Homo-oligomer: A and B are copies of this chain.
Amino acid sequence: MGPGPANVHPLVREALSAPVLGHLDPKFIAIMDEVSEMLRQVFRTQNQATIPISGTGSAGMEASLCNIIEPGDNVVVGINGYFGERISDMVSRYGGNVIRAEGLWGQPLDPAVVKAALDRVPTVKLLAVVHAETSTGVLQPLPELIALAHERDALFLADCVTSLGGTEVNVDGWGIDVAYSGTQKCLGAPPGLSPITFGDRAVAAVRGRKTKVPNWYLDLTSLLNYWEGQDGKRAYHHTAPISMIYALHQALAVILAEGLEIRHERHRNNSLALHAGLEALGLNLVVAPQYRAYPLTTVYIPDGVADTAVRSALLNDYDIEIGAGLGPFAGKAWRIGLMGHTSAAKNIFAFLGALESVLVAQGYQAEHGAGIAAAEHSLEAASAG
């Protein structure tokens, strides 16, 4: 129940241990094709260029940026959390000129601030924004920002590491040009792969580069020659991480069997129950209700309670991991994930019960059982509605 990796569905763990096929075996190629096709459904896109990158979420972030950015390009980066900062670090490593559109941690970006950043330079190559900030638990509404980017003829990139598979991501419907995610959060597989999707305009930008992509492993053109082929032939690039592809294949099948809408609703209802439980224990949530990313909840640590002692007790005595705060929230907030297979009522009850015990042991005052009762009530209301 930390910010990821989440627990992995038993079928996915089983898929991991299947015998390893060759990376050019026709049976494995068929699995690759199915993975791309299922990823398109989850991303809600027709983009041909939809593949998993052979690295964890940050490799998807880097693949998205290194293929698009050329030295001197202006890139507006929305920065209201840790992962916006990471994007900005990567952009500068690739010679891009970072224009910071800043917001407060725990709040969404203000479209007016983003517009002002876009207007600060004559041309903008890319506007990059984190959809669900794993460091703050904020879900950024995207359509308005996408419109701003497109008005300036800029590409729009969305970091969907914590959103995809847990909350609506509509790549084609919203007009996202580049998106990436990670397998270890709401997609329900172990960490190790990073699904990406590039729309036509983004692919055209890659193909129209004046300079070679300064990253061999993540060079999109070579990756697509392996994943999609060219003139009916697939060109070997690197050896795909076969077992991880099996895991993603199975995880996507689990997602589509559940149904995207139902899955999103499950994440929503369980998180609302968690929120109700935390508040019934007297804790305060960091993010305003309308901007909460359901897969990840941030909650303030109550006064007089020792951050590390609580997290250690939860881990050691209850086998429950929650995440520490990052940046300005270090020592001030916890991050509680309800992602993929972890988003389940039994986990919420186990966590609220354990948290109450640990807090009370630290001298915190809470009404016995109030958290679980509120969570139960919230779940009943959701299922009745």
Interface residues of A (CB under 8 A from B): 2, 4-8, 13-14, 16-23, 25-26, 54-59, 61-62, 66, 86, 89-90, 92-95, 182, 184, 190-192, 212-217, 237-244, 247, 315, 321
The minimal Cβ–Cβ distance linking A34 to chain B, given in whole angstroms, is 19
Would you mind naming 30 contact pairs between A and B with Cβ atoms under 8 Å apart?
A: A4-B239, A5-B22, A7-B20, A8-B243, A13-B18, A16-B16, A17-B17, A20-B184, A22-B321, A25-B315, A26-B315, A54-B55, A55-B55, A56-B239, A57-B238, A58-B216, A58-B239, A62-B215, A86-B216, A90-B216, A93-B212, A93-B216, A94-B214, A95-B214, A190-B241, A190-B243, A190-B244, A191-B239, A191-B243, A244-B244
Q: Interface centre among A19, A20, A86, by most B CB within 10 Å?
A: A20
Instruction: A25-B315, A25-B321 given; name 14 further pairs at CB < 8 Å.
Output: A5-B20, A8-B19, A8-B243, A13-B16, A20-B191, A55-B217, A56-B240, A58-B237, A59-B217, A62-B215, A66-B215, A92-B212, A182-B239, A191-B239
Whole-angstrom CA separation of A340 from B252 in the bound complex: 31
B93 touches A192 (CB 8 A): no
Whole-angstrom CA separation of A56 from B53 in the bound complex: 11
B25 touches A8 (CB 8 A): no
Q: Please give me the 8 A-B residue pairs with the lowest Cβ-Cβ distance, nearest first.
A: A192-B241, A58-B238, A190-B243, A17-B17, A16-B16, A13-B17, A191-B239, A90-B216
Whole-angstrom CA separation of A241 from B182 in the bound complex: 11
Which partner residue on chain B sits nearest A12 by CB separation? B17
Known: A93-B216, A184-B20. A242 touches B191 (CB 8 A): yes
Task: List B contacts of A19 (CB < 8 A).
Answer: 7-8, 13
Whole-angstrom CA separation of A55 from B241 in the bound complex: 8
Whole-angstrom CA separation of A7 from B192 in the bound complex: 20
B59 touches A54 (CB 8 A): yes
Known: A13-B19, A216-B90. A54 touches B239 (CB 8 A): no
Whole-angstrom CA separation of A19 from B21 in the bound complex: 23
B239 touches A247 (CB 8 A): no
Whole-angstrom CA separation of A58 from B18 in the bound complex: 24
Whole-angstrom CA separation of A26 from B315 in the bound complex: 10
Whole-angstrom CA separation of A91 from B14 in the bound complex: 40
Whole-angstrom CA separation of A54 from B56 in the bound complex: 7
Q: Interface centre among A89, A191, A216, by most B CB within 10 Å?
A: A216
B7 touches A22 (CB 8 A): no
Q: Interface centre among A2, A59, A90, A217, by most B CB within 10 Å?
A: A217
Known: A215-B62, A217-B59. A243 touches B22 (CB 8 A): no
B214 touches A93 (CB 8 A): yes
B214 touches A244 (CB 8 A): no
A244 touches B241 (CB 8 A): yes
Which partner residue on chain B sits nearest A27 by CB separation? B315
Task: List B contacts of A244 (CB < 8 A).
Answer: 190, 192, 241, 243-244
Whole-angstrom CA separation of A211 from B36 in the bound complex: 37
Whole-angstrom CA separation of A18 from B5 in the bound complex: 13
Task: List B contacts of A93 (CB < 8 A).
Answer: 212-216
Which partner residue on chain B sits nearest A183 by CB separation? B241
B238 touches A56 (CB 8 A): yes
B321 touches A190 (CB 8 A): no
Whole-angstrom CA separation of A143 from B54 in the bound complex: 34
The minimal Cβ–Cβ distance linking A141 to chain B, given in whole angstroms, is 26
Which partner residue on chain B sits nearest A94 by CB separation? B214
Known: A62-B215, A216-B86, A217-B62. A239 touches B321 (CB 8 A): no
A243 touches B20 (CB 8 A): no
